[in-house]
Structure 1
Amino acid sequence: MENTNDLSPKALLEQENRRYNETNLLYHVTAAQFGLSDTVFWVLYSLYSDDKPQTQAQMSAGWCLPKQTLNSAVRGMVEQGLVKLTPAPGCKHGKLLSLTEAGRTLAEKTVAQVIRAEENAMLRMGLERARQNLALGAEYLQLLRAEFTQLET
């Protein structure tokens, strides 16, 4: 592992952004190995890991998935019998997404393996370090978001 103590802010940013992109690529390649698009993978992941039905709006906001891309993926998943849509209580237009039996079976063959691998990596890292990593990443994101609101466009 590279010693980051000697890196300038610019070099740290480059390393952070490279790590971010490499992580995204890792999930993309893994989804593709299972024959899934990125969005279908994340829909399965979200519904499998939470085990509660969600609206597309909740999923879009919670997982930072573009609404139209998510809508297209969900439409295809409904046609394939992987997810079902049911009316959301108290919501005129919102529908709850949940896994069908076929969707749960697919998720168990795909995202369940990914979740186990993620948990194993986290355990190998150590839970305290993983918690610190999450907290630091969240703090950085919050500060970055605040800085980006100040950008002149």
Structure 2
Amino acid sequence: MKEQMSRMEELNRYYEVWRETNYIYEDCAKQHGTSACCLLTLISIDESEDPCTQKRISQQWSMPKQTTNMVLKDLESKGYVELVPLPEDKRNKQIRFTEAGKQYADSILSELRNAEFAVIEKMGLERIRRLNEDSELFIRLFRELGDGQK
């Protein structure tokens, strides 16, 4: 019984950490006059080595396609991104920053990354590696056990 209560306490702690992490990024977006969905979209476009598509952004962040589409239409109307049909599939479009869009994204993402790097510096590289490894383990086990419970 006591062990089950401890598990529940840790699970609730995990949920709280997850919510707080989301809140931090939402707050960062608000400070820059944008939404968390827009911030995540900017991150995806900025980090993309392959052609960045609406589908990819939606999948990366578990955002509804309609939300991603609205964010991209807004960025396009402001002249921050251009949507170019992919040669192999004209229905899908590659999303790229315009020069103004690159400057806009950099103004937000450089500040965000500086804060993230400062946190990593304070935590230490070994602890952030452990955090990532433990998170990856949780996800892998959750998927394995979740699939077996269906």
Normalising TM by the smaller chain, what interval? Answer: 0.7 to 0.9
Whichever structure has more helix as a proportion of its residues is 2
CA shift for structure 1 position 151: 5.3
CA–CA distance in 1 between the matches of 2:87 and 2:115? 36
Q: What is aligned with 1:4?
A: none
Q: TM-score, normalised by structure 1?
A: 0.86
Q: TM-score, normalised by structure 2?
A: 0.88
Letter in 1 for 2:112: V
List gaps (5 residues or longer) in structure 1. 1-6
Structure 1: 4+ residue segments shifted above 3 A? 49-53, 146-152
Say whether residues 1:61 and 2:62 are aligned partners: no
CA shift for structure 1 position 49: 3.2
CA shift for structure 1 position 129: 1.6
**Which secondary structure does the structure 2 equivalent of 1:94 belong to?**
strand
**Which secondary structure does the structure 2 equivalent of 1:93 belong to?**
strand
Q: Any residues of structure 2 matched to 1:67-106 within 5 Å, and which? A: 67-106=65-104
Task: Report percent identity of matched pairs.
Answer: 30
Q: Any residues of structure 2 matched to 1:1-150 within 5 Å, and which? A: 8-50=6-48, 53-149=51-147
CA–CA distance in 2 between the matches of 1:51 and 1:108? 17
**1:55·1:97 contact (CA, 8 Å) conserved in 2?**
yes
Aligned length: 146
Letter in 2 for 1:132: R
Letter in 2 for 1:106: Y
CA shift for structure 1 position 117: 1.0
CA–CA distance in 2 between the matches of 1:113 and 1:53? 25
List gaps (5 residues or longer) in structure 2. none
CA–CA distance in 1 between the matches of 2:136 and 2:8? 20
Structure with larger RCO (C-alpha < 8 A, sep 6+): 1
CA–CA distance in 2 between the matches of 1:126 and 1:50? 26
Letter in 2 for 1:48: D
**1:54·1:97 contact (CA, 8 Å) conserved in 2?**
yes
CA–CA distance in 2 between the matches of 1:68 and 1:150? 31
Over residues 17-49 of structure 1, what are the superposed CA-to-partner deviations in whole Å (9 max), with x where a residue is unaligned?
100000001100110110011111111122223
